[in-house]
A and B are shown apart, each in its own frame.
Chain A
Amino acid sequence: MKTRFTLLLILLFTLHAFAQDKTISGIVTSAEDNMPVPGVNVIVQGTIRGVSTDFDGGYSINVNKGEILEFSSLGFKTVEIQIQDQTTVNISLEPDIASLDEVVVIGYGTQKKRDLTGAIASVDAESIEKTPTANVMQSLQGKLPGVQIVSAGAPGESPTVRIRGLGSFNSGDTKVLYVVDGAFYDNIDFLNTKDIKSVNVLKDASSSAIFGVRAANGVVIIETKSGRLNSKPQIEYDGYTGIQHAQNVVKMANSEQFVTWVNESGSTADISFIDNAMQRYGRSRVNPNVPNVNTDWYDEILRNGIIQNHSISGTGGGENVSYAMGLNYFSQEGILDMKNEYERFNIRSKVDANLTDRIKVGVNSVFSNATQYKPENGAWFKAYFAVPIIPVIDEMNTDASPVRYSNAQLLGYRGTQNPFSDLTYFNNRFKIRKILANVYTEIDFIKNKLKFRTSYSHNFSALEERRVIQPYSLGNNVDRISEIKRENNTFSNQYWDNTLTFKDTFGDHDLTLLAGHSYRDEANNKFNATGQDIRGISLESSQFLDFADPESFNNKVEEIGKRFYGLSYFGRVAYSFKNRYLAYGTIRHEISSKFTKDNSDTFLGLGLGWVLTEENFMKDNGVFDFFKIRGSWGQLGNDNVDASSGANTIDVVFTDFGDQQFTGFTSTSVFNDLVWEFVEELNFGINATTFNNRLSIDADYFIRDTKRAIFPITIPVVDVTLNQNAGTIQNRGLELSLNWSDKISDDFSYTIGANFNTIKNEVTRIDNEQGYIDTGSAEFRQRTILGNPVQTFFGLERVGVYQNQAQVDADPFAANHPEANLQPGDLIYKDQNGDGFINGDDRVILGSFLPKFAYGGNIGMSYKNFDFSLSFYGQGGNKILNRKRGEIIFTNDTNIDADLAVNRWHGEGTSNSYPSSEGIRKSWNQQLSEFWIEDGDFFRIQNIQLAYNISGKSLGTNMPDARIYLTAERPFTTFKYNGFTPEVNNGVDRQTYPIPAIYTLGINLKI
C-alpha cells in the first residue's frame, strides 16, 4: 500500500528540494499528565512543510532561522514557537477542554464552535462506534436533544429520523438531508459507521438555510475520516460479532386462556372450532376441555440472529498527499425465522493532494454492495392472531404441500392463520449497489484569504428486487401458483457546487464571506415485471422470469422514470467583533424544475450572538468560564414533497364484453399543483461552561413553523384524497444538555452527560372548510384538528365497564341505545355533549403518536486500562394504537394477547378497563376508544460497554495497540404498552418488526 502511494507521489509531483539550515527536534507532551502525545502536527507556518510526532511524541524537522513552528492536535490548544538558535524544542500542550476553538463543519465550510449563532449538535466518532449497527443514525439515538430516532428492527432498514419534531404531514416528506463530505444524500445506509469522523446536526433554520429547499427537515453533516499529511501509515482493524435477541416479546393467550376466552364469547361458531380442534388433535391431559395443542406462535417464528462487522483501514500521508482507505464487511441476520438478513461490503478511498501550494485536489469514493433479504412482515401480524390450538405442522393435512403446515380453516376458521407459509414460501431479495464518487479542486487565489472550491459528485444506485413466491398448497383448496417479481430501480444523481470563500481578520474584526452556485440533476428509472407459473422454481438457478408462463406477463410490466433539475445561488456572511459580538447571515435562491407553479424562491438566515464572558464586566466573574447568548431566524424549503397531487391523467383499463378483453381508459380530473413547503424558525440559545470548564451547558428554545404544509385533503363525493398546501404545522420545544467531565487522578476520569427535550407539535392553520383533516380508516380514525398535533387518535373516552345489570339498567344510555343491547362487561363511554347518546359527536382527541418529551444520558468512566460507559434513553407522552388487537373488529375468530385474555371483564369487579369476551364482539365496544389506545412511554438502557485497552508497547516491539470490548445494546427496556416495542414509527402498530437487544464482543487493533 505504501509503495503504491509513493509511486503516486512520484508520478504526480515534482519534488522541490529546499535548503533548510537547521534541524529542530524535541518531544511533545501533554501538560495534563506529561505523557507523550503522538500524531501532533508540526508545521512550519506559511509553508507546506510539516511532520507529525511519533508514538513517543518525538519529532524532527528542518527549518530556517526565524520561521515559526506550529504544533497542533485535536483536543489541545495550538502552540506557536519562533525558531532562533535552539535545536531542541520540547512542547507541553494545554488541553482544550471546552473545545470552543474546535472547528465545526457547517454548510459549505467550517466555523469555530465559539462563533456559532445557531443550534448545531455534534457527536464524535468514539460515541458512534459504541453502537453495533449498520446505520450511523441509529447510534445517535438518545444522544442529541431534539433529534428523535425511531429504531428499525429489520436488518438493513434505516431508522426514522426526526429533527425537532414532525414538520410535514406525510411521512415521505420528512427526509433529512445528509451531507457527506460535501455530497448530498437522503439515505446513508451505505456508510460504514467506522469510517465516520464526526456527525454534526444542524438543527435550526439559520444554520441550515444555506441548503435551501433540501433542508426543511434538518441537515446532518457527516465527515468521513481522512489521512493526515506527514503522518505514518496506520493500519486499523476493528471487528465485533454478537447475537441479537428479541426483547419484550408479547405474551399471547395460551390454549387454556384462549379456550376460556372463546367459551365466554357466546359465539357458537367459535366454540365449535375448539371442539373441532379437540377432535382433530385430541384433548389435553391436564385440562380435558382444551385441545392437546399449545402453540406459542411468537416463539415459533422468532430466532436469535448473528450480527458481525469487520473493518480494516489504512490512513496516512506524505508531504503533499494524504489518504484513507478501507474495506468493511457487515452482516446481520433478522430475528424472524426466514431468509431475512442483510450483508454489506464496502470499499472506500479518500485521497487529498496539494498539487501546488495553492491548488488542492481530492477524490473520495465509496462502493457499497449490499444484499438484503426483507422480512415478510405479515408474519408478525399472523403470529399475533393465529390461534394456539393449531400446531405448526399438521401431518393430517395431507393436501398441504410441499410442507404439511396446519391450516386453521380445517377447524372452521376463516383464515389459514399459520404464519409459516409466509416464512417458507416467500423470498424477497434486494441487491443494493451504490457507487458514490466525488472530486474537488480548491484554489487559493489569495493565500489563506480567498479560496475557490469546485466539487462534482455523482451518486449512482442500483436497487434490484427479486420477490419469489414458491408454489404451495395449504390444504382446503388454498394454493398459490409460483410468482416472481423483478424490479430494477436506478438513481443517478449529480451535483456540482462552486464556492468562493473570503476570510480575513483585521484588527478586532473577523470576517468570512462566501458566494456559491449549485447545480443538481436527479434522475430515476424504475422497471418491473411480474411473471407467474414458473416451471422448476424450486431451484435457485431457475428463479428467472423467462421460465414464467408468457401469458402471465400481460399488464404486469411497468416502466417509469423521472428527472429533476435544480439550480441555486447562495451566499454567507459571518462576522465577529472582538470575539464578543457575532453575526451570521445566509441567503439562498432556488430554482427547481420539479414544480410547475412558483418554481423559484429565496431563503434567508440570520443569527446574532453575544459572548458575555468577553465583556470586561463578566471577565473573572468566578462562575462562568464562557457564556454566550444567541438568537437566530431562518427560512427553509421542503422539496421532498410531490410536485403535484392527483392527476389530470388517464389510466388504461380493460373490461369484459362477451368474454373478450376490451381496452379503454378512465380519467381523473382531480388535480392540484403543489409548491414546496416553507419553514421559518426562531431559535434562542445559550452555551456556557463553568466549574473550570468541567461543566458545559447548552440550551435552546425554538419555534419552527412549516408554512404551506402539505395536507391530504379528502374531496368529499369524488372520494379522492388530494394533497394541498393547506396549513401550518408548528413545532416548538426546549432542548437542554449538560456535560460534566472530570479527572480525579491519573488513573481515573469520568464523564456524565444528560440531555432533555420537550416538543410540542401543533397545527396552527388549516385551509379547509371543516377545520380538520381525517386520516386513518373509519374504524381507527386519526384526525388533525386546529390547535392540536397532527394525526391525533380520535375516539371515545372510556369511563369504565358496566359491572352489573343494575348499573346498566340505571344508565340512560342503555335505553337510548336499545340496538346496542348493553350488558355487564360492555364499555361505558363519556357522553361529551351530554345529549344522552353515544355517537360520533362524542369523540375527542385521545392522544398523539408524537412523544412530548425525551431524555437521555450517559456515564463514562476510565480507570487504568479499563473504560466503561453506559447510556440510557427514554421518551414519553405519546400514544400507540394497538392495531393488532384492533384486528378483532374485522376477524374475531383469532387469538388475542394474554393481557387481554387474562384481564378481561368476566364478572363483577374483574375489570374496569377491558370489556368481556362477549362484549368485544359487539360493535358498541368496537368503536375507537381509549381501550385501543395505549401509552407509548418507555425507558431503556441504550448501551453498556466495557473495554480493556492494551498498549502495544507493553507487549513488545511492533505489537499493535489493542482494545477488547464487550457491548450490550438495548439490554433493557421497560414500558407498559402491549407490544414488542414502543418504537412505532407512525403510532399504528400492526406489524412492527421487533427491535432486538444485541450483545457483542469486539476487538480493535492499531499498528
Chain B
Amino acid sequence: MKKIKVLFILSALVVMATSVSCSDKFDSQEGQLNAADLDYTDTNGMIEPLIGAYNVFATRHWAEPLLIAVRGDDVNAGGLGDQQPFADTDLYAYNKDYWMYNEFWNQHYSDIIDLNTAIVQVERFKEFLSENEKPLADQYIAEIKVLRAWLQFNVARVWKDVFIYETNTPADEIEANGVSSKEEVMQYLSDQMDEIASDLPDMRPNERPDLPGAVTRYTAYAMKAMANLELGNYQGVADAAGAIINSGKFSLYSDYYQLFKKPGELSDENLLEMQYSDFNSETGDRFYHLYAPFGSQNWTPARENARSGWGFYEPSMKFIKFMLDRNETIRLETSVLFTDRGILDLEADGYNSLPSFVRNTTRDGDIINDYARAKFASGKHYLPSIQLTDERDDYGGGKNFINIRYAEILLMYAEALTQGANGNGLTAAQAVNLIRQRANMPDLPSVTLDQIMDEKLAELGLEWGIRYYDMIRLGRYSELSYDGRTFSEDKAYLPYPQEQVDALPLEN
C-alpha cells in the first residue's frame, strides 16, 4: 500500500510539472509569416512594395481588355456560340449577372485596394528615411498613384458613377463619400496627376535606370490628358499633351508593325506598358498575360508547337473596309489577321483588288487557317510565333501590352486644338501628319475634327476601347449603330454587376 501511495504522488507530480512546463508554448504560433516581421528600417526593401504594385497592375484577367473594347465599331465579339453574354454585350444587350462584368469590377477595385496597401507599405519605410532620402519614397508613392489612376479611369469609363478609394479600408470611404460621378472621378484624377507629377522623374519610361519601363512624370501627364478629354476640358488636354510633346523626349517608333511585337517593347513611343516576359529562358518562371482570347482559333505557326488562340476578338468588317477605303497599308496589315473565309467575304462585297498583304499568311509566316468562330483576328495582340522563346508555346507568350503610347497623345492634342484649345507647340495638322508619315499616308494640309477621329480609328483601332469611348464622349452614336446593331444613349454604360448591387450601396 505504501508503494501505491508513492506512485500516486509521483504521477500527480509529473502531471503537474508537465502542465507548467508547457504553458509557455501557448503564447506563440509556429509557422505563420506576418507582415509585422518586415524590417522597415532596411531602406533597400522599400522598392519591393513598388515592384509588387507593378505586379498587381500587370496581373490582368483576360476578359478585361476584351470587355472594355468589344462594344466599339472597330471590333466584334468572336467566338460565336461561346460566351453568349459577351456576344450580347457587343450587341448592347447587357446582363448584369454576367461574370465578366463582375470580374472586371472586382479585379479593378481589389487591385486599387492592393495598390493602396502598397502605398501604406512605402510610407512605413519612409518613416525611417533621412530627409534627403524621402523624395524617393514620394516618387514610389506617386508611381503607384499613376497605376491606380489607370484602373480608376477604366472603371469610371465602364460604369460612369463609381467609387473612389484612397485607403485600404474601403468600407469607411463608401460610408463617407458614396459614389462619385464620372466627372468627379475624372477631375479627381486630373488634380491628382497635377499634384504628384513633380515627384516623378523627368525622363522617358525606358530611361528609368532602376526599373526600365516604369512610370515617369510624362505618364502622369498622359493620364491627366485622358481624364480631361473625358471631361471635355480641351485646354487641360492640350496643356498636358503639350507638355509631353514639348519635352522632346518622345517619338513614334519607326516600324508600326513591330511596335506591337517584341522589338517595339520599351520603345521611345511608350508612356505606359504592362511588361511580360519569360526572361528568354526555355523553362522556369514566366510572367505572361493570357493573349489566347485575342488569337485565331486555328493556325499553322511558322514555329512548331506554338499554340493558337480562342478567337474571341474579331476586327469588324466595318473597320477593315474603312481601312481599305483609305488605302491604309502598314496599319491594316498590323491590325488584322485575315482568313481565307474573311477574304472571300470582302471580295463578295466588291473589294476585288485587295492589297497583297491581305492574305491568310502573315509576313512572319504564320498561316491563319479558317475557323468557325470568326473571320478575322486581332493583329495588334498577335506575336509572330517566330518571336516566341524556344520551348515556350503560349499564344503571345511574353509580349508586352502597351497601355498608352505617344501616338494617342499626339491625336488627343490635335483634337483638343480643333475643339478650340490653345496649343503651345505643334499645330493640329503637324501632330496628325507625324502619325500619317509613319503609316506611309500622305500629309494633310489642315485637319478637321472628323479627320482626326478617322485618323484615331486608323491608328488606335482595336486598342483599349479608345474608339468606343471617343464615340460616347462625342455623342456620335450613329457610328455605333452598324452591322445590324442599334445603339442608343442609354446603352453607353454597363449595368452594375448584380453581385455588387447586392453588396454595395449601388442601384442600377
Contacts and interface: CB of A to CB of B under 8 A. Distances in A.
Interface of A: 265, 267-270, 272-273, 358, 409, 412, 414, 443, 445, 452, 454, 473, 476-479, 481, 496, 498, 517, 519, 532-533, 549, 551-555, 560-563, 565, 567, 591-594, 596, 599, 643-644, 647-651, 653-669, 714-720, 770, 774, 777-779, 819-820, 839-840, 890-893, 921-923, 926-927
B178 to A, nearest CB: 13
Contacts of B82: 414, 891-893
B362 interface: no
A774 B285 contact: no
B96 A657 contact: no
A650 B51 CA distance: 13
Interface string B48-86: 111111111010000000000000000000001111110
A923 B95 contact: yes
Give me the 9 closest cross-chain CB pairs, A-B, nearest first. A664-B51, A819-B93, A658-B212, A269-B372, A562-B31, A716-B503, A666-B52, A719-B110, A717-B170
B106 A923 contact: no
A480 to B, nearest CB: 9
A565 B26 contact: yes
B275 A567 contact: no
Contacts of B500: 716
A657 B54 contact: yes
B35 A667 contact: yes
B498 interface: yes
Interface string B94-120: 111111001000110110011001101
B234 interface: no
B391 interface: yes
Residue picked from A654, A666, A891, most chain B C-beta under 10 Å: A666
Contacts of A593: 25-29
A267 B55 contact: no
Contacts of B277: 656, 659, 661
Interface of B: 4, 7-8, 11, 15, 18-19, 22-23, 25-36, 38, 47-56, 58, 80-85, 88, 91, 93-99, 102, 106-107, 109-110, 113-114, 117-118, 120-121, 163, 165, 168, 170-171, 174, 206, 208, 211-214, 265-266, 275-277, 279-285, 287, 297-298, 301, 304-308, 310, 371-373, 391, 393, 497-504
B56 A666 contact: yes
Residue picked from B19, B23, B214, B372, most chain A C-beta under 10 Å: B372
A819 B98 CA distance: 14
A272 B372 contact: yes
A477 B93 contact: no
Contact of B84 (A655, A666, A922): A922
A477 B393 contact: yes
A305 B301 CA distance: 44
A851 to B, nearest CB: 29
Nearest to A720: B110
Contact of B211 (A273, A412, A657, A820): A657
Given A267-B80, A657-B275, A414 B15 contact: no
Residue picked from A443, A718, A819, most chain B C-beta under 10 Å: A718
Contacts of B117: 666-669
B26 A591 contact: yes
A840 B97 contact: yes
B450 to A, nearest CB: 32
A839 B498 CA distance: 9
Contacts of B15: 498, 517
B275 A656 contact: yes
B372 A656 contact: no
Contacts of B27: 593
A876 to B, nearest CB: 31
Contacts of B54: 655, 657, 664
Contacts of A840: 96-97, 498, 501-502
B49 A667 contact: yes
Contacts of B282: 533, 549, 551
Given A549-B283, A774-B502, A840-B97, A669 B120 contact: yes
Contacts of A653: 51-52, 55
A894 to B, nearest CB: 11
A265 B84 CA distance: 13
Given A517-B19, A649-B35, A770-B502, A268 B80 contact: yes
Contact of A718 (B81, B98, B168): B168
17 contacts: A269-B81, A272-B372, A273-B372, A452-B7, A452-B11, A477-B301, A657-B54, A658-B206, A659-B280, A662-B51, A663-B51, A718-B110, A718-B170, A774-B499, A777-B99, A840-B96, A840-B502
Contact of B279 (A452, A659, A718): A659
B3 to A, nearest CB: 9
B236 to A, nearest CB: 29
Given A519-B19, A533-B283, A655-B54, A819 B393 contact: no
B190 to A, nearest CB: 23
A718 B287 CA distance: 23
A445 B165 CA distance: 70
Residue picked from B170, B208, B277, B304, most chain A C-beta under 10 Å: B277
A510 B208 CA distance: 86
Nearest to A444: B4
A891 B501 CA distance: 27
Contacts of A819: 88, 91, 93-95
B106 A412 contact: no
B19 A596 contact: no
Contacts of A923: 84-85, 88, 95, 98
Contacts of B22: 519, 565, 567
A567 B26 contact: yes
Contacts of B18: 496, 519
Contacts of B284: 549, 551-554
Given A414-B297, A664-B55, A667-B35, A718 B109 contact: yes
A563 B30 contact: yes
A840 B97 CA distance: 7
Nearest to A783: B502
Nearest to B169: A669
Given A778-B97, A840-B96, A719 B279 contact: no
Contact of B109 (A549, A591, A719): A719
Nearest to B109: A717
A270 B18 CA distance: 72
B275 A655 contact: yes
B26 A560 contact: no
A366 B32 CA distance: 33
Contact of A658 (B33, B95, B266, B373): B266
A533 B501 CA distance: 47
Given A414-B82, A478-B307, A567-B23, A656 B4 contact: no
B262 to A, nearest CB: 9
B34 A648 contact: yes
Nearest to A839: B96
A649 B95 CA distance: 37
Contacts of A774: 499, 502
A272 B53 CA distance: 46
Contacts of B168: 669, 718
A537 B413 CA distance: 60
Contacts of B304: 477
A666 B499 contact: no
Contacts of B165: 717
Residue picked from A498, A662, A774, most chain B C-beta under 10 Å: A662
B29 A657 contact: no
B47 to A, nearest CB: 7
B48 A665 contact: yes
A498 B11 contact: yes
A655 B58 contact: yes
Contacts of A926: 84-85
Nearest to A520: B22
Contact of B19 (A567, A592, A655): A567
Given A519-B22, A657-B212, A778-B97, A554 B285 contact: yes
Given A658-B206, A669-B120, A669-B168, 13 more contacts: A267-B81, A269-B81, A270-B372, A476-B298, A477-B307, A477-B393, A552-B284, A554-B285, A661-B287, A664-B53, A666-B55, A666-B114, A717-B113
